[in-house]
Amino acid sequence: MPSMVRRELFLSGAAAALTACVRPNTDRGAFDLLDTGLDEIIAGLHSGRWTSRGLARWYLDRIDSIDRRGPRLNSVLTLHPDVLRQAEALDLELKAKGPRSPLHGVPVLLKDNIDTFDMPTTAGSLALEKWTPPKDAFIAARLRQAGALILGKTNLSEWANFRSTRSSSGWSGAGGQTLNPHATDRSPSGSSSGSAAAVAACLCAAAVGTETDGSIVSPASACGIVGVKPTLGVLSRSGIVPIAHSQDTAGPMARTVRDAAILFDALAAPDPADPASASFPSPFRAAQSLDPRALRGARLGIARKFFARNQPVNRFLDAQAAVLRKSGAEVVDEADLPSHGKFGDAEYEVLLYEFKADLNAYLSRLPAGAPARSIGQLIAFNEKNRDREMPFFGQEILVQALEKGPLTEKKYLDARAQCLQWTRPEGIDAVLAKYQLDAIVAPTNGPAWLIDWVNGDYDTGGCSSPAAIAGYPHITVPAGLHEGLPIGLSFFGAAFSEPRLFALAYSYEQATRARRKPALQPGGASPSTRA
């Protein structure tokens, strides 16, 4: 398709110098990072076992062989053209001064709706393919300050999957279709599709995604990794292409809970430019909260209604509930939200209003003469470039958002008030208080569906909306395979309960060791390919 050709030409040109020097890897000897956690990577860097440049070369070689060739996952949209020189500088600094943080020299990827001053930020749209922001997003700056090495940017569902009701998750005009590494004929889900697929396929040490409703936890579940959607404001929203300020947040995506906690700790900090950060409590350290015994005595509520009509997933949930009980947790079955199923229409109304206001504000920053400096101009650009931007699905959500009025309208204010009422006092808070729970548990979503550019995504169910709308934290952990496809188990709870959720998720992960290596071929993974 035209977008795939464009992406291939871009990577071939901008990264030619990189791919020419990634084979063979002779820097500090050969090594294999497929089963290596962040703890071991960090220890290896600090001890001199390997270098940041050596790690970068290993990941670049794997990106070249798997993402651009081989199964062509299409998860990485842009590679940093100067990444090897930056890695060398970090190596010299580490040797001379010691590490800036645990992430010093660690190669990570960012979703391509997170601003970077030295790479384009496209949100997957050809309208932004030449847009390089003047400064980093707050969280990108945090990573650089920590000494992390930003390898590049990942593909995503265009405009974070808020363009069409018939979209194919993981497809963008700028990057084409991202594939699921566990079954390359199936969807990686979205919108943080590239970040999830890249982490699962070990194309980076860890990655950053973003979520408005499900865009971290759903692809994490579908691709068999850990995803963390924090409390609103714990991670800054500044410099991220928006959908809705009342729900948007960035979050870590990693192969293990510990890896996600290490990345979370580097990202979490108050941002004076983000009003939501005003409620950020004293900094907590997720990595210090991890406890393999955290499930002992914990009270967990099973939210059944999310998959009430899906018997295979319910049987899968029964097996996970048994694991939780065996690990010492008190499990309350059918701890469903009293408002279950009420908030979908109100949420959509809020998202349309905020999308118009927030995206217009973001696009207005683009220079004069840019293809799109407003939603109206974006719609016109897509129509003019229909063959490249809309070969499979349209832009009806953009059109609906354009028709909305200002955020002072009663219709918006009432919808937002309903969302908060139904997901907080009549939702998560009500269930936690009624059963005295530490967290609510459910399957994150069903197994990945087949990629279908004719009909779009197929809904296999999901539990992301209550925590997303409430602005509360949500963590998904690999729970194993169903018919060869990953399913995650979700833990969500009250605002700022991240330390407790990390502890519970880690304890469950240690009890199950359920993550599997991806098959990197069509049709799902073999249950024997244990990670």
Q: 135-151 b/e with 16+ CB inside 10 Å = b?
A: ebbbbbbbbbebbbbbb
The three-point CA angle 226-481-287 to 5° equals 20
Sequence letter at residue 443: P
**Residues 6+ positions from 481 with CB-CB distance below 8 Å:** 224, 487, 516, 524, 525, 527
Cα separation, 429 vs 401, whole angstroms: 31
Strand partners, 489: 443, 477
Question: Is there a contact between 207 and 226 (Cβ–Cβ < 8 Å)?
Answer: no
User: Which residue matches tokens 């937002």?
Assistant: 416
Contacts of 477 (CB under 8 A, 6+ apart): 226, 257, 488, 489, 491, 505, 508, 509, 514
SS3 call for 430:
helix
Beta-carbon contacts of 177 under 8 Å, excluding residues fewer than 6 positions away, are 4, 74, 168, 170, 171, 451, 453
Contact 164, 394 (CB under 8 A): yes
Catalytic residue at 215? Answer: yes
Place of tokens 């963008």: 172
Coil, strand or helix: which one is 412?
A: helix
User: Which of 298, 274, 297, 238 lies closest to 441 in space, CA to CA?
Assistant: 298
CB atoms within 10 A of CB 36: 16
Distance CA 187, CA 382 (A): 24
Count the Cβ atoms, other than its own, within 10 Å of residue 175.
Answer: 30
Q: Of these residues, 125, 191, 195, 238, which one is catalytic? A: 191
User: In whole angstroms, how far apart are CA 205 and each of 28, 88, 147, 302, 510?
Assistant: 18, 17, 14, 32, 20
Catalytic residue, from 75, 195, 215, 218: name it: 215
Per the CB < 8 A criterion, the answer to whether 175 and 512 are in contact is: no
Please indicate whether residue 111 is annotated as part of the active site: yes
* Catalytic residue of the set 3, 52, 75, 111: 111
Clarify whether 191 is annotated catalytic. yes
Chain length of the chain? 531
Active-site residues, by number, are 111, 191, 215
